[in-house]
Amino acid sequence: MGSTWWVVIEEQGGMGDGRGWGVADAAGYADRDTAFGEAYLLAKQHRPPRPSSPQKRVLLRVTDGYLVLVRGKTDVWQFRVTVGEEGGG
């Protein structure tokens, strides 16, 4: 039986100095390649709650997924799309 690979979206919430990170979505996949394919699509298509008027999106490929910077009219927000293998527990 194979491992389950998870794709997790973590995004910023809150305002000003009260910004924090939280899990926005998570889903399991049967294999690593499928999970990374889905992570790429989510990095390109996921629309976080802020900024309300996105102007530009930059995808940064990191070891375990993507860090995405979304520039709005007045601020930059970010979210992560991370791929990880379920380790048990």
Q: Quick: pLDDT tens for 11-44.
A: 977 666 777 788 889 999 999 999 999 999 999 9
Task: List, in order, residues 6 or more apart from 37 with CB less than 8 Å away.
Answer: none
Burial zone of 81 (CB within 10 Å; 0-12 exposed, 13-18 middle, 19+ buried): buried
Domain limits of the chain? 5-85
The pair of structure tokens assigned to 16 is 């000003």
Backbone phi and psi for residue 37, each to the nearest 5 degrees, phi listed first: -65, -45
- Quick check: pTM over 0.95? no
Give me the pLDDT at residue 68, please: 96
